[in-house]
Amino acid sequence: MDEKKLTPKAENYSEWYNQLVQRAELADYAPVRGCMVVRPYGWSLWENIQATLDKRFKATGHVNAAFPLFIPMSFMEKEKEHVEGFSPELAVVTIGGGSELEEPLIVRPTSETIIGHMYAKWIQSYRDLPVLINQWANVVRWEMRTRLFLRTLEFYWQEGHTAHATAEEAEDETLQMLDVYTDFAINEAAVPVIPGRKSESEKFAGAVRSYTIEAMMGDKKALQAGTSHNLGQNFAKAFDIQYLDENNTLQYCWTTSWGLSTRFIGAIIMTHSDDQGLVLPPRLAPIQVVIVPIFRKDEEQSAVMAAVERMKNELSGFRIKVDDRTEVTPGFKFNEWEMRGVPLRLEIGPKDVANNSVTLARRDIPGRDGKSFVSQEGIASTVGAMLDAIQANMLAKATQFRDDNIHQPEDYESFKEIIAADGWCYVWWKPNAENEARIKEETKATLRCIPMEQPGGKGLCIFSGEETTEKAYFARAY
C-alpha cells in the first residue's frame, strides 16, 4: 500500500481512523501506554472548540477557575455511587517526596468531590447562590482499551460545577447546558447530535439524572459526545454544602456538573472525514483557507506571489495559510492539505494572474465538482459565502447519513437484525434495568438516550410488549 494513502474506511475503519489521526498530525502515541500527545494542529482544533464553548459558558453567566489535580481518597468515598462507579478507573498516588503518604491521593477522574468540599466552605447564605464555575483541565481514568481522542488514559476537557438554591434551578441549569452543547455540536462542528436523557443504568455515578448528546459516527456506531448531570442533593449531603435560606433555615444545595472533552475531536473526525483524510468544519478548522501559488519560471513567480500577497491581505479576516514551499510540487501540497482537512484551497497560477481570477477547491466536495473559478475582485465575500456553504453542506450530509441509518423496527427480532447490521433503532421503550441489561448482553447495543423530543401518544415496548409513552435510541457505541 502507498504510504501516503490511508486504508479505506470500508476496508478497516479502525485502521483508517488511527492512520488519519497520525498522518493529519492531530495526535501521536505517548511513551506511556494509553496516553496521547496532542500535536499543535490537533491542539489548535481543541483551542477553537474551547474558544467557542467558553464564549457560550460566559454568555450564560459562568466563570472559570482551577482546582487541584490530586483528590484525597476519603473524598471519593463520601458519595457511595460515585466511588463505586469510578473505582475501577482510579490512578492512586501512595508515595510523595520519597515518603509514603498518610492518605492516598487520587489523580482526578472528575472533580465533583474536591469542588463539593470547596463549595461547602464558600457557600453560607442564599445570597451566595447560584455558584456557576467551570474549569478547563486534564483528567485521568485508567482505561484498558484505548484509542486516540476517543478513549485515552489521560484526556482534556471542561467540567462545569454549579450549586443552586432549588431543585428547579438545578434542573434548568442541567438542561441549559445540554442546549449549549447541542447548539455547539450542530452549529460549530456540523455534528447532528441527538439530545436526550440517559437511562438509570447509563447515568453518571452519583447523579439523579444524566443528559447526553449522542452522535452517529461514519461506521454507524454511537458516540456520547457531551453530558450534563443533575446531581440533586447527593453531593451536597456528602460534602455538607448548605446555605441559610431567607427564613434563616439551613438547607442543602442542589448541584450539577457537565462536561465535553477532547473525545469531541474524534466525533468531528468520524462524522465528516473520508479516504483522502480529514474534513474539518470551517468554523472550527485551524486553517480555513490554504493559498497555493503555482508557477514554473522565475518570471512567473514574482507576478504570482504579488497576487498571493494581495489575496492574503484581503482574506486577513479568515484563518489563512500560504504554502509557498518550493521544494515540493503543487500536487504534493494539494494532497497534504486535503489530508489535513482544510475546508478551502485557493490556487493562483500565471493564467489566474492574467485573468484576474483564482481557482477555489472545496474539501467537502472532492475532485472536479468541488472546483470553481472566481474573480479576484470581492474575494473576501466570495470566500466567506463558500465557507458558509461548506459548513451547511457538511451538516446536511451528516444529518442525511444519520437519518438514513435510524430504523423503527416493529418487533425484537427485527431490532436484533438492525443492530447486527450496525444500524440505530428508535423504538418504544418501557424503562426496565433488567431488560436493558438483557438487550446489551444479546446484541451489544446500549440505550443511548431517551430523546428530549418525543412523538407523543403510546406504543408497545420493543422488548416487553408493555404499553409505554416514551421512545428511545439503541445502538452499539464507542
Domain carrying residue 331: 289-402
CATH number at residue 374: 3.40.50.800
Record the pTM: 0.96
Give the model confidence (pLDDT) of 395-420 as tens digits: 999 999 999 999 999 999 999 999 99
Helix axes 412-420, 433-443, angle to 10 degrees: 50
Whether 2 shows a pLDDT value over 60: the answer reads no
% of the chain exceeding 70 in pLDDT: 99
Does residue 214 contact residue 181 with C-beta atoms inside 8 Å?
no
Shared-domain flag, residues 168 and 71? yes
Whether 291 shows a pLDDT value over 80: the answer reads yes
Whether 225 shows a pLDDT value over 80: the answer reads yes
Give the model confidence (pLDDT) of 139-160 as tens digits: 999 988 889 999 999 999 999 9
Q: Is residue 283 part of a domain?
A: no
Give the model confidence (pLDDT) of 304-330 as tens digits: 999 999 999 999 999 999 999 999 999
Residue-level pLDDT at 273: 98
pLDDT band at 3 (very low <50, low <70, confident <90, very high): low
Residue-level pLDDT at 77: 85
CA atoms within 13 A on the CB side of 218: 23
The three cell numbers locating residue 229: 448531570
Domain boundary among 220, 238, 272: 272
Residues in the chain: 478
Shared-domain flag, residues 74 and 126? yes
Shared-domain flag, residues 208 and 343? no
Q: For cell 460545577, what's the residue?
A: 161
Residue-level pLDDT at 143: 86
Residue-level pLDDT at 88: 84
Q: Is residue 279 part of a domain?
A: no
CA distances from 1 to 6, 8, 212, 306 (A): 9, 11, 40, 40
Mean pLDDT for 123-147 is 95
Shared-domain flag, residues 189 and 67? yes
| Residue 455, preceding peptide bond in cis (omega within 30° of 0) | no
User: Residue 420 and residue 371: Cα distance in Å, rounded?
Assistant: 39
Q: For cell 468531590, what's the residue?
A: 113
Select the more confidently predicted residue: 298 or 99: 99
User: Residue 304 and residue 326: Cα distance in Å, rounded?
Assistant: 13
User: Residue 258 and residue 158: Cα distance in Å, rounded?
Assistant: 8
